[in-house]
Amino acid sequence: MWPTVVTAAHYLGLTALAVITTFPFLWLLATALRATGTVFAFPPVLIPRPATLANFAGVWETMPVGRFFLNTAYITGMGIALTLATSALAGYPLARMRFPGRDVIFYAIIGSLMLPQHVGLILNFVTMMRLHLVDTYAAVYLPSVASIFGIFLLRQAYLVIPQEIEDAARIDGAGDLRLWAQVMLPLVTPALATLAIVEFTGYWNSFLWPLIVLKSPDHYPLAVGLLYLSGLFAHNTRYIAAGAVLMTLPVIVVFLLLQRYFLRGIVLGAVR
Amino acid sequence: MGGEGVEQAAVVPSPAAGRSRSTGPTGRPAREARAPVRRILTAYLFLLPALVLLVVFTFYPVVFGTALSLFDYDVITPPRYVGTAHFRELWSDRYFWVALRNSLTYLAVVPVLQLCSIVLALWVRRPLRGIAWFRAAYYLPVVTSIVVVGLLWRWLYDESGVVNYVLLRLAIIHTPVHWLTNPSIALYSVMLVTLWKGVGYYMVIYLAGLAAIPPEYEEAAALDGAGPVARLFQVTIPLLRPSVLLASTISAISALRVFEEVYVMTGGGPIFSTYTLFYYMFDQAFNALHLGYAAAVGVVLAAITIVLSAINFRLLRQGGLSYY
């Protein structure tokens, strides 16, 4: 009897907390599905009657949300691809080759985590101006491509590959490049997957840097674009809510499907 | 490693080779000392993309950005050396002091956030059925864009928004609260959003910390007659200290640098009540184009961050398991 009561109390408390963290999302979704009214409805509406997808169609057609969506997808795709490539390359010699300067480079990379990155924002903008990259997609993803977390994660993954596998490939006459591409790379795909998932939310949600380096709304990703639209169309909150749902949905789907890898990545990222 | 394949093949791999790093089969110190040029070149070619990008976008801007605080620079005309003039100017700059006070006040979110996250982690580590779903629910705000979160809470916090509705209904308040438009509470309203968005993230860090504590410690304490409360405060929490150090340092640094929540929800207002140091740096650099002055603000912010991290480290470095 008593344990049942305790368990029930636990579920009650956990549910109350879950309501606090998830209610705003449900309310956002409800607002995006409403046919009339605004977000400021007394009492708040949780079940829209009638429910409609008109706001999604409307926001896609009358506002450049489709464009923002494609911009975000492009920046995220390029960012992930280049981050994976850079990390997969850089992690390899740091883990499995011996050469002068290796340890210095490794500690410099790890140590750069302690640098005050915010001071770098100012000169990164100047660099982008010099390179004539201001207001381009490349300017958004380039500074994040060399991921310290990614290099560290891949180095650890290469480190645990047994030496026997490398030796066997060498007996078969594999050179450095073939050894890396055909033997080592397939063995670190789990690490690459973890990195891809972590970087996905990073690039998809990135806001401050695109806000600084992008000038024309045509190039905005969703994060910057939604804020811009919410300023322009302050009265049409249902459309903005629909845009916010469109932005959030891919991240939530990826998170719920790949939760385990996701949380593993967060822990590794924090402990780096 | 080009030409060494044949030589390596002749060496029988030792049983422990799998654990060794890059040294390969043991017993070739002479060869290791003098790596062939080609091999060095290969290694550096692998590292090249990462190194170039890190130098251009991390090392160079931080080092020279710090130096920039001693120069006047507006992008168009060449930088002009002004010495410590910017720092003296900051001393008598009202906006700087307002921003500094707000940024330091924002640190108040750190202990609350850490306490909530520890309690939550202790709670959701119980093997209850469906607990993974609850963890996911608490983590949801973490993966959501700060812009979506900011817009959402701006609406929820509205005078006729959901927060006021619920509190009025529960008779906790009698007139609607101006959460984001009342200068004396706006900063705290923004902090509440930081708390809401961050608690899931730190929960995961603490869950990992709790999982790293061998169960034998708590079992031994239980055998010695320690009750659940004593076990929690005298065994589990002290052993969790490395995680507390890590999480509170990350949390303090991001609290000092708070910008995005503020930018989306209040724009620094009303009447500068949510204006932070990072916001001031942003405005000076990208709106006023006073890049040197902005760099000086950035350097002050960095100095505060370093001092605070050092204090935090001193306070929390003891404890935990010895091999941490």
Q: 3-state DSSP call for residue A51?
A: strand
| Range with top average pLDDT, A33-42, A96-105, A109-118, B227-236 | A96-105
Chain B closest-CA separation from residue A75 CA (Å): 15
Residue B18's pLDDT band, with cuts at 50, 70 and 90, is very low
Residue B98's pLDDT band, with cuts at 50, 70 and 90, is very high
pLDDT of residue B10: 35
Residue in B with minimal Cα distance to A123: B61
Is the minimum CB–CB distance between B210 and chain A shorter than 8 Å? no
Return the domain boundaries, chain A. 1-52, 63-271
Task: Give the pLDDT confidence of B260-274 residue by residue, as tens digits.
Answer: 999 999 988 798 999
Q: Rounded distance, CA A92 to CA B3, Å?
A: 18
Closest CA to A179 of B2, B90, B113: B2
A63-271 is classed in which CATH architecture? Orthogonal Bundle (1.10)
Residue in B with minimal Cα distance to A98: B22
Residue B162, pLDDT > 60, answer: yes
| Range of weakest confidence among A40-49, A123-132, A204-213 | A40-49
Chain A closest-CA separation from residue B37 CA (Å): 9
Is the minimum CB–CB distance between B123 and chain A shorter than 8 Å? yes
Question: Tokens 């801007």, residue?
Answer: B61
Cβ neighbors of A121 (< 8 A, separation 6 or more) are A208, A209, A212, B61, B65, B285, B298
pLDDT of residue A238: 84
- Which residues of chain B are within 8 Å of residue A252 when distances are taken between CB atoms? 140, 143-144
Is the minimum CB–CB distance between B221 and chain A shorter than 8 Å? no
Is the minimum CB–CB distance between B201 and chain A shorter than 8 Å? yes
Return the domain boundaries, chain B. 94-316
Mean pLDDT of chain B: 84
Residue B21's pLDDT band, with cuts at 50, 70 and 90, is very low
**Span A45-58, mean pLDDT?**
77
Residue A167, pLDDT > 80, answer: yes
Q: Up-side HSE of residue B312: CA atoms within 13 Å toward CB?
A: 22
Residue B3, pLDDT > 60, answer: no
- Which residues of chain B are within 8 Å of residue A39 when distances are taken between CB atoms? 155, 158, 161
| Range of weakest confidence among A58-72, B21-35, B136-150, B206-220 | B21-35
**Span A151-176, mean pLDDT?**
88
Question: Cα–chain-centroid distance for residue B248?
Answer: 9
Residue B298, pLDDT > 80, answer: yes
The percentage of residues in chain B with a pLDDT greater than 70, rounded to a whole number, is: 87
Helix B131-143, helix A259-271: angle, nearest 10: 60
Chain A closest-CA separation from residue B224 CA (Å): 24
Superfamily of domain B94-316: MetI-like (1.10.3720.10)
pLDDT of residue B25: 44
- Cβ–Cβ below 8 Å for A93 and B35: no
- Cβ–Cβ below 8 Å for B143 and A251: yes
Chain B closest-CA separation from residue A85 CA (Å): 9
**What is the pTM for the complete model shown?**
0.86
